[in-house]
Amino acid sequence: MRKQAGFTLLELLVVMSVILVVIGLAVVRLDDSGSRVTHANAEGLSLALEAARDAAVYSGKPVAFSSDGEGFQFWRSDDKQRKWLALSGDSALQARKLKGEVRILQQTVNGKSRPLGERLVFSAEGLSEPFTLLLQGGEARVQVMADALGRIRIEDVAQEETGAR
């Protein structure tokens, strides 16, 4: 008997099943509609907002947040010059760009829409006006919301709300 070159049916089935599993995982990772990146940006933003609230309380001076939609920056009140100064040097409160295709689409304060770029202020007492920031990345939309005490939470925006906007 001569030995034949080639693969057995069992070997081919094992290789094909491994390839299908890898392709399935790749499709799941690629087809998340921006959800993972949007949530990661929302989490980073919420941590930065909490740091701003804490910085206002610890320093005894108001700290503000502003966004152009593509990134965000923090400000400290300068009583002597009566203006806002951009914060720098503090890694938690340095200016940042949002990652990926994520953008801040809208900000509301006390339930009313406000233009991007308008500052949201955390007072030295730790209080702020309740606000919501709407982030979108791909088809995913997430709200970062703060109450009057500066407590921050993140919520997904339902698909029916997404279609209405």
Residues 6+ apart with CB under 8 A from 11: none
Q: What is the pLDDT of residue 145?
A: 95
- pLDDT, tens digit, 9 for 90 and up, residues 22-33: 887 766 565 556
Read off the pLDDT band of 163 (50, 70, 90).
Answer: very low
Tell me: pLDDT of 161 over 70: no
> Is the pTM higher than 0.85?
no
Two structure tokens written together for 143 = 């709200």
Q: Give the pLDDT mean for 14-43.
A: 80
pLDDT tens track for 115-148? 999 999 999 888 889 999 999 998 889 999 999 8
Quick one: CA dihedral 42, 67, 130, 50, positive or negative?
Answer: positive
